[in-house]
Each structure stands twice: as C-alpha cells, then as structure tokens.
Amino acid sequence: MRIFAFATAASFLPRQLPSSSPARCRSTNRKRPTTCLTPPASSVPSDASAANNKFRAPRGQVFLVGTGPGDPGLLTLKAVHLLRTAQVVLYDRLVSDDILSFINPSAEKVCVGKGRNLGTGSQRSIQEQIAYHASLGKRVVRLKGGDPAIFGRLGDELSYLRGEKGIEAGVVPGLTAASGAAASLGFPLTHGGVSEELRLITGHSGRDKQFEIAQVTEGSTLVVYMGLREMGATLETLQKRGARKDLPAVAVQGATTAAQRVVWGRVENLAARVEQVGLKSPTVVIIGEVVRMAHEWEETAK
C-alpha cells in the first residue's frame, strides 16, 4: 500500500491579559468550538522588538500535541498527561471545551486559532509566542486539532523552534480526521482488492497542479482536507481528470464529535448535496470505492 500526502501553500502576547481583554477566548456551548478574538494591537510587540529580545532564562519544554478529530475519548494517554502537567497551552480555535477541560487548571491558556476573517495573527506570531513562553522556562504545549504532521504546520513550527531558536520540541501525534471519519461511519480507508493506495490532499488553490498527480484512479482512495469552499470545483476537476461520475463519496463535518453531520453521494452530485444541506467547516471529503462499504451507503447514496 502506498500513502501520498500533498499540500498547497495556503508578537508576543503578554503572559497574562486582563479578564476584560478581547484577546481571551470564550464559548457559551461546550459542544461548540471556542471563538477567538483579535488581541489588542498595543499588547503585541513589533517584529523588531521581538527580534531584539535576548532569552536569558532557562529554556522550558515544548510539545506539539495533536488532539485528534474532536472526540475527547480519542486523545492519546500521552496527550492527556501533557495537558495535565502543562504550564502554558496555546490552542487552535477548533479545539473543543471538552478537550480543554483536561488542561491543568493553573496553566495559562492562550487561543491562537486561525481561520477566515478571524484575524488572530500569523503563523509566525504563533511560533514567536511558543518560543517566548519556552524562554521563561515554562512547560509549553502547542495544542493542534487532528494530527500535527498532516496539514498541521508541524514542519513550520519545528523549523522555527529548532532552526531559529535552538529549542527542541517533542511531537505527540493525534488521530487524523480521515481515520476518525471513516471509523465513525464503519468503512476502511484501504481494503485488499478495492483500494491499496491512499492519497491525502488539501482543497485549497492550485487544484489543477495537484490533480495532475493525485487524480482518483481505480484501486485508490482520495481524502480532501479543508475542501468545503472549493468542493464543486474540486469534484469537477476530478471528473475532467478521468474519475468516474458514479464513484462513491462522502462529506463529514465535525467527524467523531456530537456535532457530526454526514452527506453521502457520488462524485457527480456530492457538491450539490453538501450545498443543499449546508455543511460547515471543518469538513473532510472521502472519495473511493471503500465508501461503498459503509453501514449507511446503500440507503442514503442513491
């Protein structure tokens, strides 16, 4: 079996902020992701001041930790241990309150989530915050949805911490959304004689270049991460590249969580069905004959 993954291109904060500051993250529903607001500009030092900051305190510990797709029961034991012993946790916007509840009550929690129209800072500023807290000798956990190694900017953060700051970081994997979605719906991602190749791509711009390499072929499974906005164009491109119109496909929002929503279909009609239902991010799309093995396929995909 071959597995391919393709991706496209897609400061400091003070140690504590007043409780009234809009930089705090809030949630009124434990089942919904935390809402992240923009920190006040006056609280974020300029790049120049950040560059001039010379670390003098002993280096702390940094761990880049995956939460899995969302179900707290799918956290690894190591992830839970690190959350319970962390002094600072920097977390993404899609990390639920159920998972945040594992964090050491005395730890400082910083929402660094990014997303469309959130304006919560660049990847660079997130990396600077990690390094800043580590420079104070803290035990720092960077909490990321899914698996940090799969479209999770793990390489960027490791390169910055190791290459630019000389800070070593441990990595704790999480269950990726594709595995969680397939498991929750009762079908495999690979299966002997049906699919012996798994391809993971993002649905961002640059689709034509991707699909010259990652077109769906017989005997393969394609998973599209972050592909909701461009789903129609993505599936149309697949058909132009030779994918069968009747190839089974499924879109899963909030895989493994209480808010999970599922839309079944085929390459030719999935985008229209998703638009009709109104799925929201995060949604993962799985395409291939393995989808036909799901419990609900025959009853719902006709």
Q: Judge whether 70 and 261 are in contact, CB under 8 Å.
A: no
Residue of 92, 138, 165, 231 marked active site: 92
The pLDDT assigned to 207 comes to 57
Residue with tokens 């704790």: 172
293 is catalytic: no
Question: How many whole angstroms separate alpha carbon 80 and alpha carbon 82?
Answer: 5
The pLDDT assigned to 122 comes to 85
Question: How many whole angstroms separate alpha carbon 248 and alpha carbon 262?
Answer: 14
Residue of 138, 165, 226, 231 marked active site: 226
Chunked mean pLDDT (size 10), the chain, 302 residues: 51 39 44 49 47 56 97 98 98 93 98 62 90 96 97 95 95 98 97 93 69 66 92 89 91 96 96 96 95 83 62
User: Architecture of domain 46-172 in CATH?
Assistant: 3-Layer(aba) Sandwich (3.40)
Strands (E), 181-220: 197-202
Q: Which amino acid, residue 222? A: L
β-bridge mates for residue 253, sequence order: 261, 283
CA 92 to chain centre: 8
Annotate 231-245 with b (16+ C-beta within 10 A) or e (fewer). beebbebbeebebee
> What would the two tokens of residue 83 be?
């959350």
> According to CATH, what is the number of the domain 177-300?
3.30.950.10
Q: Judge whether 282 and 253 are in contact, CB under 8 Å.
A: yes
Q: Judge whether 157 and 130 are in contact, CB under 8 Å.
A: yes
Q: Which amino acid, residue 67? A: T
246 is catalytic: no
Domain boundaries in the chain? 46-172, 177-300
The pLDDT assigned to 110 comes to 96
User: In sequence order, what are the residues at sequence separation of 6 or more whose Cβ sits closer than 8 angstroms to the Cβ of residue 98?
Assistant: 30, 31, 72
Taking CA atoms, 17 is separated from 13, 57, 93, 101, 111, in Å, by 8, 22, 18, 20, 12
Question: Which of these, 24, 50, 268, 288, lies nearest to 164 by C-alpha position?
Answer: 50
Question: Which of these, 132, 101, 129, 135, lies nearest to 113 by C-alpha position?
Answer: 129
Residue with tokens 């609280």: 43
Residue of 71, 109, 114, 231 marked active site: 114
Q: Judge whether 139 and 85 are in contact, CB under 8 Å.
A: yes
The pLDDT assigned to 114 comes to 63
Question: How many whole angstroms separate alpha carbon 43 and alpha carbon 185?
Answer: 45
Q: Judge whether 31 and 96 are in contact, CB under 8 Å.
A: yes
